[in-house]
């Protein structure tokens, strides 16, 4: 009986040793498997990170290419048209020296503004207006036009991305160019503010001779406004013309 009891005890210990040994082997294999899986996951994460980086770089390069194409297209539509107009004036002999010079100055100003627009932060209307004031002030002085500036400090306007900002800039330039060429004004006033919470409103106001806004359709202004996604309203009478541009809301 004693022998049987000792034999059972030894058998139990041997069985326990076998179980412990197998558990250790299984644990070791599980650790090895986890390490292998972790290494594979790390490799895949690195591969995915590299692939994502390449995709991101390609997207940035594609975005820069599209941006350059848009800028060149805008320059062609703006500067190119002014230069073409100056050439036609010279070839026809109908344009005076002053008219040709004014057309060429418009072309140069628009070229400078096109270059400025490359560095404008998206939606920063304050920076856009400040740049236009800086570029156009010599023209105002030369034309004897006093500038009144009533522009509020504003946060960036959502939705005014790079292309919309350039169209917005060209729209304002077109309004200013009309004042310089046709209005015979002595005062030009800029107003800009956020109204009704989220609507950007910019007004270009002059005290010139005015025109019949119902009969003379400001086609170039309307085209620029549509391209910028803005709303345009023009009011004109002798002594006061208002070009009002709204965006958002």
Do 159 and 235 lie in one domain? The reply is yes
Its pTM stands at 0.65
What's the domain range around 107? 1-119
**Who has greater pLDDT, 100 or 167?**
167
In sequence order, what are the beta bridge partners of 151?
A: 192
* The domain boundary residue, chosen from 93, 119, 145: 119
Query: Is the per-residue pLDDT at 193 higher than 90?
Result: yes
Rounded Cα distance, 104 and 115, in Å? 17
Do 146 and 105 lie in one domain? The reply is no
Structure tokens, 192: 């800009």
Structure tokens, 81: 């048209």
Do 90 and 192 lie in one domain? The reply is no
CATH number, domain with residue 163: 3.30.565.10
Domain count along the chain: 2
Give the tens place of pLDDT for each residue, 21-52.
Answer: 787 877 778 788 878 888 887 888 888 788 77
* The domain boundary residue, chosen from 119, 141, 157: 119
Do 232 and 147 lie in one domain? The reply is yes
Do 161 and 249 lie in one domain? The reply is yes
Do 34 and 106 lie in one domain? The reply is yes
Do 70 and 151 lie in one domain? The reply is no
Do 75 and 162 lie in one domain? The reply is no
* The domain boundary residue, chosen from 119, 140, 173: 119
Strand order in the sheet with 187-195: 146-151, 187-195, 199-206, 240-247, 231-237
Rounded Cα distance, 122 and 166, in Å? 10
Do 88 and 206 lie in one domain? The reply is no
Do 114 and 140 lie in one domain? The reply is no
**In the chain, % of residues over pLDDT 70:** 84
User: In which band, very low, low, confident or very high, does the pLDDT at 67 lie, cut at 50, 70 and 90?
Assistant: low
Give the tens place of pLDDT for each residue, 157-172.
Answer: 888 888 888 888 889 9
């Amino acid at each position: 009986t004693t022998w049987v009891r000792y034999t059972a005890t030894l058998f139990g210990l041997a069985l326990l040793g076998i179980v412990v040994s197998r558990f250790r082997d299984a644990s070791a294999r599980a650790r090895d498997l986890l390490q292998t899986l972790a290494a594979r996951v790390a490799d895949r994460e690195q591969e995915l990170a590299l692939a994502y980086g390449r995709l991101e770089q390609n997207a940035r390069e594609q975005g820069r290419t599209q941006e350059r194409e848009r800028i060149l297209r805008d320059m062609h539509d703006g500067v190119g048209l002014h230069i073409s107009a100056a050439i036609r004036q010279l070839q026809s002999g109908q344009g005076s020296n002053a008219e040709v010079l004014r057309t060429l100055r418009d072309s140069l100003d628009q070229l400078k503004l096109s270059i400025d627009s490359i560095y404008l932060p998206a939606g920063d209307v304050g920076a856009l207006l400040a740049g236009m004031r800086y570029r156009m002030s010599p023209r105002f002085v030369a034309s004897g036009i006093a500038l009144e500036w009533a522009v509020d400090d504003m946060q960036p306007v959502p939705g005014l991305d790079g292309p919309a900002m350039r169209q917005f800039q060209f729209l304002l330039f077109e309004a200013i160019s009309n004042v310089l060429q046709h209005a015979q004004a002595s005062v030009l006033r800029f107003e800009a503010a956020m109204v009704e919470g989220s609507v950007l409103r910019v007004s270009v106001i002059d005290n010139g001779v005015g025109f019949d806004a119902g009969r003379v359709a400001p086609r170039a202004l309307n085209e620029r406004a549509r391209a910028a996604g803005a709303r345009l309203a023009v009011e004109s009478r002798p002594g006061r013309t208002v070009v009002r541009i709204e965006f958002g809301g």
